[in-house]
A and B are shown apart, each in its own frame.
Chain A
Amino acid sequence: MYSQLFHIFRNTPLGRETFLQSLYFCKQIDATPVVYIPEFIKFLMYFDNDVVQVDLDNSYLTDPATAEEHARELMDSAHLKPNFFTPKNFTASTLPDIPTNFEFMCCPRSISDLSSKIGLGYIGPRVRRIVTSARFPVLITSPVYKPWKSIAVFFGGSANALNALKLGLRIARQTGMPLDIFTQAGNRSREDYEAVIRDHHLEDELERFQQRWIIFDSGKFETNLYAVPHDALVIMGAYGHGLIRDLIFGSKMEDIQSTVSNNLLIVGPNYTAGI
C-alpha cells in the first residue's frame, strides 16, 4: 500500500532529530516522506469538519537558504527519494492550505510553541485538534532521534483502541517487529478484552505478531508505564470519548505522552484502520 508521511521541516538541530525520526518511520513502513519547508509562519489544514490554523514559531523559518539542502542530505543518507511539498492553494496570500490526505503526519509534541516548551508533559492545542480531526494517525516523536525496535499498543477495548491495535498489527506485519499490548484493567477481565478481539476477528493476526499482552491489574497507571520498553513505538487511540469527557476527566493519551519519552503514534477518533 502506497503511503505518505507529511513532515514540516525545521532547519534546526531539534528539527533534525524530529526529521530523522520521521525518516526512520518511513524506512520501516515503506512510506514516502513528504517534506514541507514553510515559507510562512502559519498555514491551514482543512479537515472533513474542522479547519485548523497552525501558527509555527520562528524556528521553522530558520535559514531558509540551507533548509532544502539539509533536508535533502538527510533523505539521501536514509536512501529515501526527496519529495518536497509546495502549497498550491492559499486562503490568504500568506496563508497556504496544506492537504489532509496523507497517511501519516509527524508533529513534535507542540507544533506551535517555542522549542523550549517541547518536552514531556505538554501537548499543544493544535496537535490536539489535528489528532481529533485527522483521518491519519499522528506521529509524535521523541525529543531526540530514537530508533524503535518493537511496537507497543495501548488497548483498552474502545473503538479507538481497536483502531490503534489494527494499526499496530499493520506496522508489525510491515516491519516484522514484535508487538506488545498493554492494558490497564479497569472493571473488565482479560476475557472481556479477548472477546472484543474475537468479535473483530483479530485473534489470528494477534497470534502471529503478539509477543506479550501485559494487563495491569493493580497499581497506578503512570507507575505501570515503566513496563513499556524504552525503544518501542507506542501506538494508542486518543480523544475517542468525546471532547467534553476528555475536558472533564482528562485524556489517557495525554497521561501517557507526559510519562513516556517514546515515539508515539496517535490514532484519533476519525481514523479508520484496515488490516
Chain B
Amino acid sequence: MRSPISWRPPATWHFFRSDDRLLLIVAGAIVGICSGVAAVALNQSLIAVLGYLRPYRAYWWAFVLPAIGAALSSLFLNKIMREGAGHGVPEVIYSVSRYGGLMRFRSSFSRLISSCLTIGSGGSAGPEAPIVMSGSAIGSNIARLLGLNDRQRVTLVGCGAAGAISAIFNAPIAGLIFAMEIILGEWAASNLIPIAIAAVAGTEISHLLQGKQIPFSHHKFNIGAVDIAACIGLAVFTALASIMLTRAIRTIHHQADGIQLPSWLKAAGGGCAVGLIGLYLPMVLGEGYHAIREMMEGRFTPGIGLVFLAVLAKIIATALTLGSGGSGGIFAPCLVIGSFAGLTYHRALVFLWPGVDWVQEGCFVLLGMAGLVSGVLQAPLTGIFLIVEITGGYDVILPLIIVSAISTTMCYYMEPASFYLKDLVEKGQLMRPGTDARVLADLEVHELLETDCIAVHTNMLLRDFVDIVKQSRRNLFPVEDHAGQFQGMIYMDDIRPYLFDPLMYDTVLVGQLMNPRVDTVSPDDDVVEVLERMDAEGLFNMPVVANHRFRGMISKSTLLDQYRKELMVQTYHLNR
C-alpha cells in the first residue's frame, strides 16, 4: 500500500534524471545562501563577543580570557557536540576523499559556536576553517535531503565551502578557487558552474546582510622593477615563515596529545599562554585584521624589531591556540603573519638601501599575505585571488604571482604536503578522485571474486580429477577435505606430467598432487595489500579463504578489469 504521506528526493524526479546540471545549480544556490548566512552569523557573533570583551582587556587578569574561551570551546565540542576536535578543513577534505562528502549534521553549526568562543576571547585563530566546515556540512546534508549520489554530494560540499569563503571575505572568485583547488582537488567542468553559483550566492547574501565591504581598503601602488626583483626575497622569507608555522602547530599538537590531561584543560593552558603573549603584544590576539588594516594604510608605528617579534609571536600564539585544542582556522593567522613578514621585509629593505625608491610598505604587506597563504596551503591560485579580492586591486597581480609561485614551490620542497593535507597524506587517507589509491580503495575483495573454480577433494583419484579437468575452463583447482575445509591448490602446470601417464590414474590421489603451501587472501583484506603481495611474489591468482573455506579466486586480470570500470565511473564527470 502506498503511503499517503511520502517524500521522494528530487534526485529521483523524472525531470532531473536525464541531466542533473539544473538540479546542481539550484541546489548550489541554496547551499551558497545557507553557507553565506552561516558565515555572516559567525562574523556578527565574533564582532559582538569581541565588542563585549573589549573593556575587560585592559585589566591585568585579561590573559585568562583566551584560556576561558579555549576551555569552553573544547568542552562544547567534546562534551556537548561530542565531535572529535580538528581544524575543520582537513576533515572536509577527508570526507570528500573517502566518503563521497558525507558529513554529520552537527558539523554545520558546532564549529561556529566553538570558534566564536576561541577567537572572540582572544585566541589566535581565524573563522574561515570553521565556516568552511559549516558550509560544507550544510552542503552535504542538503545533498542527503535531496537524495543525491556521491559525486553530486561532493559538488554541494564544494558549493558550501565556496559560499562560506565568498561570504566571509566578500571574495567570490577566491571562494570558487578555494573549493576547487583545496577541497575537491580537481577542476571538473560539471563542478565549476554550481560552485560558481554558490560563491555568488554567498557573496550576495553577505552584501545583503552586512553591506558591500571589502575587508581591507585598496591603495594605489607604484610598483617598479626593483620592487618586483625584491619580491623574490620576500617569497623566500614568507616560505620560511610558512614552514615555521606549519611545524610549530604540528609540534605543539603532538606535544599536547602526549599530555595526560583533559582536553579542555590543555586548551585552557594554550589559551593562557596566548593571553600572556597578548599582554605584551596585543596585536597577536584574535583574528588580527585590525593590525593588517593599519599596516596596509601605513599607520603601524612599531619599529622593525618589534614587527619581526610580532611575526614570531603570532606563529607561537597560533600554534598554541590551535595545537592545544582551540577551535579555529589558519587562514586569518596566515594573513596576519604574512602582513607582519611583508612589513618586516620592507623595513629591512629601506634600512639596507635607503636611497632606493621603494613602493609603499602596504604593497609588501599585501604580498606577504599572499606568500603565507600560498606557502601554508600550497595553493597559489587561492593565495593570489584572495589577496586581489580582499584588497580590491589588480595592479599588484604580477608581484603576487611571483611571490605565491616561489613561496608555494619552496614550501613544497621543504614540506611536500600542505598544512591541510599533511596528516591525511601521512595516514594514507588522501585519495583524490581518479587517483590510483582512490580507485583501489573503492574496490573490495568480494567484488573481485571469481567463483567458477571447481573444488576437488583430497581423496579423489587422479582418474576422477582428469574428468573434472575436461569440464573445467580453469587451470587451477582448490582442494578441500571431507569437511569442506580448504587444504591447498592444484595448478595444471605443476601436474601436467601426471595427466599424460594413465598408469598414475588409479594410484595417485589429489591430496598427493596439491600444493598445500599456497598464499591465501581473506575477504577482509585490503585490495592494495593483496596487489602488493601478488607483485612481491610474482603471482597472478590467489585463493580467497575465509573460515578455512574456499570462497573463490582473485586474479590480476579481474582486478585490472574492475579497476578500469571504477576509474571510468570516477572520472566520468571530468569529460562532461
Contacts and interface: CB of A to CB of B under 8 A. Distances in A.
Contacts of A248: 5
A44 B6 CA distance: 28
Contacts of B257: 93
Interface in A70-118: 81, 89-95, 97, 101
B352 interface: no
Nearest to B98: A89
Contacts of A93: 84-86, 257
Contacts of B429: 89
Given A90-B427, A91-B94, A92-B86, A2 B5 contact: no
B261 interface: no
Interface in A206-249: 241-245, 248
B95 interface: yes
Contacts of A91: 84, 91, 94-95
B575 interface: no
A242 B147 CA distance: 13
A245 B551 CA distance: 42
Contact of A2 (B7, B95, B547): B547
B102 A50 contact: yes
Contacts of B446: 2
A244 B145 CA distance: 13
A55 interface: yes
B221 interface: no
Nearest to A47: B102
A53 B104 contact: yes
Contacts of A142: none
Contact of A245 (B6, B95, B523, B524): B6
A158 B523 CA distance: 33
B444 A158 contact: no
Nearest to B106: A53
B82 A55 contact: yes
Contacts of A4: 524
Contacts of A32: 546-547
B102 A46 contact: yes
Interface string A247-265: 0100000000000000000
Interface in A1-17: 2, 4
Contacts of A55: 82
Interface residues of A, number: 31
Contacts of B527: none
A139 to B, nearest CB: 19
A120 B7 CA distance: 30
B523 to A, nearest CB: 6
A157 B1 CA distance: 8
A66 interface: no
A7 B83 CA distance: 23
B5 A242 contact: yes
B3 interface: yes
B91 A92 contact: yes
Nearest to B94: A91
A155 to B, nearest CB: 14
A2 B102 CA distance: 29
Interface string B1-26: 10111110000000000000000000
B347 interface: no
Nearest to A34: B524
A57 to B, nearest CB: 12
Interface string A1-45: 010100000000000000000000000001010000000001010
Given A49-B147, A51-B102, A53-B106, 12 more contacts: A46-B98, A47-B102, A49-B144, A50-B102, A89-B427, A91-B91, A92-B83, A92-B85, A92-B91, A93-B85, A241-B6, A242-B5
10 contacts: A2-B446, A30-B547, A32-B547, A49-B102, A90-B427, A92-B84, A92-B91, A157-B1, A245-B6, A248-B5
Closest 5 CB pairs of A and B: A92-B84, A95-B84, A51-B102, A46-B99, A241-B3
